[in-house]
Amino acid sequence: MAKIISFFNHKGGVGKTTLAYNVAWDLSERGQRVLMIDGDPQANLTEITLDNKLFYEEVDLFSTEDVVEYSPEFLKENNIYEYFRAYILPELNEQRPQIQKFKKKNNLDLLAGSIRLAELEDTISLAVSNVPGLRDIPNRAYQALQDLGEDYDYILLDLSPALSATNQLFVELSDYFIVPVNPSIFSLQALDNLQDIFRNWNRKLSSFDIFSRGQKSLPVMLGIVCQNYRPYSKAGEKNTTSAARFERRMNELNDSAVTLANSLNSFGMALLPEQFKEIFIHCEPYRIANLPDYNQLSTVSENEKVPVVGLTNSLLAKNKLNLPQYIQKVSDFKEECAQIVTGLLKLK
């Protein structure tokens, strides 16, 4: 059965979507069957994943090219809303949906996002508030995830930057979650707030049958991943005043992550420090990785519809960035991302 990992932070702009995409790509390159779920009504993961050239007026079933083609109606019929609605709000005698996933490449699929996911928010909100008649919705949503996981090794959930009931449900139904951050005072504030947020979420959902009867254990926080990491202002310029300020902020974030993990461990929702070190062997709890700032590479990634870990020298050359500094940036990024993925492969 697939391991379900959510990428969640109620602060926006910390790179949840790009992190999920890069990790999913790397996992698939290592032979793991991966499903990405776009759980944000903005559908940014869907936007950066889909190659519009594959959407034709009609599907050519006799194409000799090694690609999958999709009709323009594909996303309207095959998305996260259509899939979960049939479990959460089934119509009379409705059959479970046979939703198709977008095949990005070998071992990597996407359950597309939809703005209509927001239409389920009110119902889910009432369910997690323990309204009679809706208490079974967490069980149904969990069954939906389990059914999806039959064909995959990992499900990665990219969630919106919101304290919504939908996010609450998806995080609680995950096996693990990662908190993306960036080196800002706002990320520090967000980490501090998460202590009370998760405690409140746990209090609301722990009484539901799916948890109280032991069918599902609470999700476990793996740690934080810092994006836009810049230990110096210019290439080779280290130990500057600016770099020292940056590193102080990183240490503050890590201290806050340790405090968050200690709080979560009071009810079993975080790795213990010794567990963290066994999984992420080159890291101190709870900073999993520092993904470097990749500047112009983000534009290349968006244009080519591949994450930074998928950028090759030929793609850099195509975009006139086949220069030593950009080749090195891609290499550094891949190395840090590999550290995350190597750890995820150890999860039981």
The residue behind tokens 């109280």 is 212
- Name the 3-class secondary structure at 75: helix
The residue behind tokens 């900073």 is 287
Q: How far apart are CA 212 and CA 130, in angstroms?
A: 14
Count the neighbouring beta carbons within 10 Å of the beta carbon of residue 211: 18
What's the confidence (pLDDT) of residue 58? 42
- Rg value, the chain, Cα: 20
Phi and psi at 155, nearest 5°, equal: -115, 125
pTM across the whole model:
0.92
Pairing of strands 108-111, 102-105: antiparallel
What's the confidence (pLDDT) of residue 234? 54
Phi and psi at 179, nearest 5°, equal: -105, 105
The residue behind tokens 């039981």 is 348
Q: How far apart are CA 34 and CA 167, in angstroms?
A: 21
Q: How far apart are CA 182 and CA 168, in angstroms?
A: 22
Q: How far apart are CA 257 and CA 209, in angstroms?
A: 30
What's the confidence (pLDDT) of residue 270? 96
What's the confidence (pLDDT) of residue 69? 64
Rounded to 10 degrees, the C-alpha dihedral 160/162/168/171 comes to 40
What's the confidence (pLDDT) of residue 206? 80
What's the confidence (pLDDT) of residue 320? 93
The sheet that has 34-39: what strands, in order across it?
102-105, 108-111, 34-39, 154-159, 3-7, 176-181, 220-229, 287-292
What pairs with residue 131 in β-bridges? none
Q: Which of 188, 187, 183, 269 is nearest to 222 (CA)?
A: 269
Q: Which helix (H) or strand (E) holds 14?
A: none
The per-residue pLDDT for range 154-190, each reduced to its tens digit, is 999 999 999 999 999 999 999 999 999 998 899 999 9
Q: What is the pLDDT along the chain (348 residues), one digit of tens a residue?
A: 899 999 999 998 889 999 999 999 999 999 999 999 999 999 999 999 997 666 544 444 444 445 556 777 888 899 999 999 999 988 867 777 789 999 999 999 999 999 999 999 999 999 988 888 898 999 999 999 999 999 999 999 999 999 999 999 999 999 999 999 998 899 999 999 999 999 998 888 888 888 877 888 999 999 999 987 765 555 555 556 766 777 888 889 999 999 999 999 998 999 999 999 999 998 999 999 988 877 789 999 999 999 999 999 999 999 999 999 999 999 999 999 999 999 999 998
What's the confidence (pLDDT) of residue 245? 77
Q: Which domains does the chain have, with CATH numbers?
A: 3-296 (3.40.50.300), 297-348 (no CATH)
What's 298-315 look like in SS3?
Answer: HHHHHHHCCCHHHCCHHH
Q: How far apart are CA 121 and CA 331, in angstroms?
A: 41
